[in-house]
Structure 1
Amino acid sequence: MKNPLFLLPLLLLTGACTEIIDLDLNETSPRLVIEGRVSDQPGPYYVKISRTLNFDEPNNWPAVSHAGVWITDSEGVTDTLQETVPGLYATSHLQGKPGNTYTLVVEVDGETYAASSAMPPPVPVDTAYLTESAFMGGDGLLPTVEFRDPAGVANYYRIAFNRDGDPLPGFFTLSDKVWDGEKVSRPFRFADYDIQPGDQLTVELQSVDPAVYDYFYVLEQTSGQGFNQSPTPSNPTGNFDDDRVLGYFSAYGVSGFKVR
């Protein structure tokens, strides 16, 4: 059996931009892909719905229009999302709040799919700066991020960077399993991008729940970027109640910082 590469577009916090992750999927029939995020920053928040293609077709996944999409929080607020462009659905009044749990419900072709995510509080970034690369003896600049991990509670992080307001490809995952409560200082090396002098970088330190962390951890391994690099034999498992659905739904607190 062939193991073709599909491309999974991941919806970013800043509007409807996408980052492309190479994802090694087994040969399969087309499957529904749902990707959604809610943060503690002002909305609107977006949910993207598409379908995979057969392995011998171009990697341009078709959008799914006319779906029913709702997000409800643990305070009882429900927002009915409206389709803004084909396959992209936006909230109108929902505001993310740390400590709340958010449930996404999607109805497509008479089938209903749901996922829930609890929003952890954001962890402040103390500082972020550029350092000379020491990887593989090469030249270059690496962004280094420092923050204090809250003690006594399991924390999971997804780290993303923007350059001049646009998202850089790739992301990184961290958990505090071995450094609970400690000060964290980590450089980050991009697999497909070299930081240039004059680049205006910002970092997003996203606090995510365990299921979302697991999902992005597997994607990070598959893409071969960051600290977690090892072969991954299976597709990442999302947090939807139907394992036929690919993708994820994440509620997260985020702390931003301009890299100096």
Structure 2
Amino acid sequence: MKIYFKLTILFLTIVFTSCEDVIDVDVQTGPSRLVIEASLDWEKGTTGNNQTIKLSKSTPYYDTTTNTGVTNASVRVTNDNDNTEFVFTHQGNGEYTTTNFIPVIGQSYTLEVVHEGETYIANETLMPVVDIDGITQSIESGFDEEDLEVNVIFTDPEEQENYYLFKFHKQGDLLPVLEEGDDEFVNGNEITWWFEKEEDDETDKIEAFLPGDTVNIDFFGISESYSNYIGILIEQSWGAGLFSTTPVPLRGNCINTTNADNYAFGYFRLTQVVRTSYTFQ
């Protein structure tokens, strides 16, 4: 697949006259791949029966195609202990849903996606999450002592290794912010996880939290393997810095057992999640 774009370069001459050259640059792109968004999240206080898996195809960076949903796949999840199968039915837009999924903490499940004659398999275990003990606000924990931050307080279980994912989404913002962590140095202790929005110095746009702002908070318990995956993804999303590694295509746990070279993007995860919100005073 090739993309051609025009790069305009302006040359200034000594007499301040100028000319414009048009250069066609052949940009190589990778093949279109299956994208599997299979996040089965069991919100505490619900049955967890309703779940959705999204399938789409990747597109080149400059491609403006918006309708990339995959409509001709077979999707199912199997409980590895008793072989109970949960079939996900296509909804006509790339989304595959079920209303009878049965979540079991600590249980492993296998995802199977069959698309265009190729089979993709992934395995994951449903991880628990502790309750949130409290939510407060402050200004002393963050990088800027004048900016508000939200503090999520919880108690880490001592008897096990735990990996956590937070999703903070200020109401009105286009995208959420993801942060991941573990209990390596705080095992068994009360933890206060703070989140602060800083001002954007490049655009002079104020992004810091203000009184009256509401932030939605999702608190997930995740596996170690998913923690490693999402940690790299978060780091790459920050952009290239002075000491950053060169971004590379990030493979998840969805393995093409028919043709290993035609791997998929995305990840199959199973988590328990606590969802809440906080309004700054």
Equivalent residue number for residue 62 of structure 1: 68
Give the counterpart of 1:231 among 240, 244, 249.
244
Check the 8 A contact 1:157/1:213 in 2, yes or no: yes
Unaligned runs of 5+ in 2: 1-27, 201-206
Q: Distance in 2 between matches of 1:232 and 1:60?
A: 30
Equivalent residue number for residue 54 of structure 2: 48
1:62-89 per-position Cα deviation (integer Å, ceiling 9, x unaligned): 1111210101123322111112241111
SS of 1:81's equivalent in the other structure is: strand
Q: Distance in 2 between matches of 1:230 and 1:217?
A: 16
Corresponding residue pairs, total:
232
Q: Distance in 1 between matches of 2:56 and 2:153?
A: 37
Equivalent residue number for residue 255 of structure 2: 241
Task: Tell me the percent identity.
Answer: 25
Task: Within 5 Å, give how 1:56-205 maps onto structure 2.
Answer: 56-58=62-64, 60=66, 62-74=68-80, 75-132=82-139, 135-137=142-144, 139-163=146-170, 169-190=176-197, 193-205=207-219
Equivalent residue number for residue 14 of structure 1: none
Check the 8 A contact 2:142/2:149 in 1, yes or no: no
Shift of residue 163, structure 1, vs aligned partner: 4.6
| TM-score normalized by the length of structure 1 | 0.78
Q: CA RMSD in A?
A: 2.8
Check the 8 A contact 2:76/2:113 in 1, yes or no: yes
Q: Distance in 2 between matches of 1:76 and 1:200?
A: 43
Q: Distance in 2 between matches of 1:148 and 1:230?
A: 34
| TM-score normalized by the length of structure 2 | 0.73
Q: Distance in 2 between matches of 1:147 and 1:136?
A: 22
Shift of residue 161, structure 1, vs aligned partner: 2.8
Structure label with greater radius of gyration = 2
Give the counterpart of 2:36 among 20, 34, 37.
34
Check the 8 A contact 2:169/2:177 in 1, yes or no: no
Shift of residue 217, structure 1, vs aligned partner: 0.6
Q: Distance in 2 between matches of 1:230 and 1:45?
A: 39
Shift of residue 189, structure 1, vs aligned partner: 2.8
Q: Distance in 2 between matches of 1:232 and 1:112?
A: 32
Change (3 A) 1:230 1:170: farther
Check the 8 A contact 1:40/1:98 in 2, yes or no: no
Equivalent residue number for residue 7 of structure 2: none
Check the 8 A contact 2:164/2:180 in 1, yes or no: yes
Q: Distance in 1 between matches of 2:88 and 2:111?
A: 10
Change (3 A) 1:134 1:121: closer
